Amino acid sequence: MRKYLLATCVSAVALCGAGFAYADDEQATLQKDPKQFTTQRGNYAATAYSELNQINASNVAKIAPAWTFSTGVLRGHEGAPLVIGDVMYVHTPFPNIVYALDLNDDGKILWKYEPKQDPNVIPVMCCDTVNRGLAYGDGKVFLHQADTTLVALDAKTGQVAWSQKDGDPSKGQTGTDAPFIFKDKVFIGVSGGEFGVRSWVSAYNVKDGKLAWRGFSMGPDSDTLIDPTATTALGKPVGADSSTKTWQGDQWKIGGGATWGWYAFDPALNLMYYGSGNPSTWNPKQRPGDNKWSMTVWARDVDTGKAKWVYQMTPHDEWDYDGVNEMILTDQKIGGADRKLLTHFDRNGFGYTLDRASGELLVAEKFDPAVNWATGVNMDKNSADYGKPIRVKAMSTEAGGEDENTQGICPAALGSKDEQPAAYSPQTELFYVPTNHVCMDYEPFKVSYTAGQPYVGATLAMYPPKGDKNMGNFIAWDGKTGKIVWSNPEQFSAWGGALATAGGVVFYGTLEGYLKAVDAKTGKELYKFKTPSGIIGNVMTYEHAGRQYVGILSGVGGWAGIGLAAGLTKPNDGLGAVGGYAALSNYTALGGQLTVFALPNN
């Protein structure tokens, strides 16, 4: 406990003396201590990079499980546990239990919080009852529940400090994303892009739970918090009604643009960064227009929510390429000049590098060569189509038409990468990206909207690209040039989040359940261990009593648990197609376990 208080008082002495009321600088200070793991993705920049190097490329082959913990829940386990001082905080899928484990006593349970939620929220969660993790700040642990409640728990006792209901599951609104604390606010988004939910990001005061602001993904400027003259897209002001005039009639009211991904923050610019998801429905014919601001990278002022800049990656989406994936902030040199960058690996298969201050687009290249719905992104600043994808007509599901099956589109709707987050190492200046390598046939058709019911309107079949057997790759990417540096094939989509360390090692988990360690420079596999169930969570690391530990949640599920459980079929092999690609269910079953690895005690 003493160690724990010390950590929060390391910042400006004056603040400490005054009783240190705000989480203002606290998270920034906590993140500097590599022994702790105090926020999802490790730090504000979302690099998932740890300075710990006790485990390194020459000894990682010797690591082994040191201790384990069963969560008591058997569904898809996303996100990562946190370590603050000597306590580890573990979260679970629905019913969203929170455990505080004592690292001084082999993970003894200090307290457990289990919210009472109406199980009728379960069927309104399109893609398993996942939860992407907790946040910590101001002596409180924050949980975003499936029923959209945001609850702040006293970190020492698990007692509820405050609780806020953010949305309404009867309208298809649910909670899956992890809260993030930036300065004195805690931020959450909402899920429901498959239910016609017009989505938002909410900012609540860490101290008292009051709502500070809420910014919607589409609607009038007063809802989206866009300033027609000050908010820019690729350097130009977006103008009035930039969202609503890209929708037909009132469709923006059930527009989607869900916000369930990972958020990042630049304290110097005072901007938070995140992406918005697909427009509703999946049938593009039913929603003409560019559908702004779905599929968009957002930069918002943390205090007011006002949008500084936006960039829409996939206007008038025809494939469900949600833009919610993580935004990783780095400072690198491009063309000899120091730049403040934002790198984003989108569902649509393009790796984007932008200037995070101005929103200028610097690089947009495919991070899977199989991507074929667009040939590239227009990088000509003078073109009217600057920044837009150069679409391939044959892969347009709208051109294919309603009730027609458009075939061989790559990537499939689950994208070249779904929510599983990448990591970045400043040592190598490389991004480490878990990817999917799957294509699809997609057939849109007419659907009607009912609140709280799925509003999808398309059916799809998925399979690996022609000639390939692997359904995933784990790659190293140079964001300055937009090039794949090395690529390790994986039998299944690489659905776990990566971690990079100063020891020159990169960790990730596989869908069959392997925790793998690879050399950060070459990609050579150095270690693997099969955990009790498939991995869709993110690797984390911490140090306790002089030993470095690497922790990972196992528990297969998520969208991978639906689409890949039974295996994929060969595309249109004629009638009676026999066999198909490996079924995930041949390799793993449901689980819910934390495995923590370390070098053996000599």
Contact positions vs another protein (CB under 8 A) = 72-76, 94-95, 119-120, 122-124, 126-129, 194, 405, 441, 443, 445-448, 450, 453-454, 456-462, 556-557, 561-563, 565-572, 574-578, 580, 585, 590, 592
- Give the integer Cα–Cα distance in Å for 49 and 41: 8
Q: How many CA atoms does the CB half-sphere of 506 hold within 13 Å?
A: 30
CB of 279 to another protein, least distance (A): 17
Q: How far is CA 447 from CA 38, 290, 455, in A?
A: 44, 20, 7
Of 244 and 588, the one with the shorter C-beta distance to another protein is: 588
Of 41 and 132, the one with the shorter C-beta distance to another protein is: 132
> Which residue type, as a one-letter code, is found at position 31?
Q
CA angle 331, 135, 41 (to 5 degrees): 35
CB of 447 to another protein, least distance (A): 5
Six token digits for residue 471: 């359904």
Six token digits for residue 48: 């998932």
Q: Which residues are CB-neighbours of 38 under 8 A, at least 6 positions away?
A: 27, 30, 31, 82, 83, 84, 136
Closest CA to 520 of 498, 539, 541, 551: 498
- Give the integer Cα–Cα distance in Å for 491 and 528: 15
> Which residue type, as a one-letter code, is found at position 586?
N
CB of 459 to another protein, least distance (A): 3
CA angle 75, 39, 597 (to 5 degrees): 65
CA angle 343, 596, 143 (to 5 degrees): 60
- Give the integer Cα–Cα distance in Å for 535 and 79: 10
CB of 378 to another protein, least distance (A): 33
Cβ atoms of 491 and 514 within 8 Å: the answer is no
Of 12 and 583, the one with the shorter C-beta distance to another protein is: 583
Of 461 and 485, the one with the shorter C-beta distance to another protein is: 461
CB of 367 to another protein, least distance (A): 26
CB of 317 to another protein, least distance (A): 17
CB of 416 to another protein, least distance (A): 20
> Which residue type, as a one-letter code, is found at position 136?
Y
Of 464 and 504, the one with the shorter C-beta distance to another protein is: 464
Q: Which residues are CB-neighbours of 498 under 8 A, at least 6 positions away?
A: 48, 420, 421, 422, 423, 432, 433, 434, 474, 506, 507, 508, 538, 539
Of 419 and 519, the one with the shorter C-beta distance to another protein is: 419
Backbone φ, ψ for residue 123 (5° rounding): -70, -5
Of 150 and 412, the one with the shorter C-beta distance to another protein is: 412
- Give the integer Cα–Cα distance in Å for 222 and 238: 14
Residue-wise burial string across 214-225, b where 16 or more C-beta atoms lie within 10 A, e elsewhere: ebbbbbebebbb
Of 169 and 275, the one with the shorter C-beta distance to another protein is: 169
The continuous run of DSSP H or E covering 29 comes out as: helix 26-31
- Give the integer Cα–Cα distance in Å for 500 and 528: 16
Closest CA to 172 of 418, 450, 457: 450
Backbone φ, ψ for residue 478 (5° rounding): -95, 110
Asked about 25 being catalytic, the answer comes back as no
CB of 80 to another protein, least distance (A): 20
Cβ atoms of 533 and 554 within 8 Å: the answer is yes
Residue keyed to tokens 């469900």: 320
- Give the integer Cα–Cα distance in Å for 520 and 49: 12
- Give the integer Cα–Cα distance in Å for 11 and 498: 29
Of 327 and 447, the one with the shorter C-beta distance to another protein is: 447
CB of 450 to another protein, least distance (A): 5
Instruction: Please count the other Cβ atoms lying within 10 Å of the Cβ belonging to residue 407.
Output: 16
CB of 466 to another protein, least distance (A): 16
Of 66 and 590, the one with the shorter C-beta distance to another protein is: 590
CB of 575 to another protein, least distance (A): 4
The single residue of 320, 322, 441, 519 carrying the catalytic annotation is: 320
Closest CA to 601 of 540, 545, 526, 539: 545
Of 124 and 201, the one with the shorter C-beta distance to another protein is: 124
Cβ atoms of 155 and 84 within 8 Å: the answer is yes
Six token digits for residue 365: 């290249």
Task: Give catalytic residues, as residue numbers.
Answer: 320
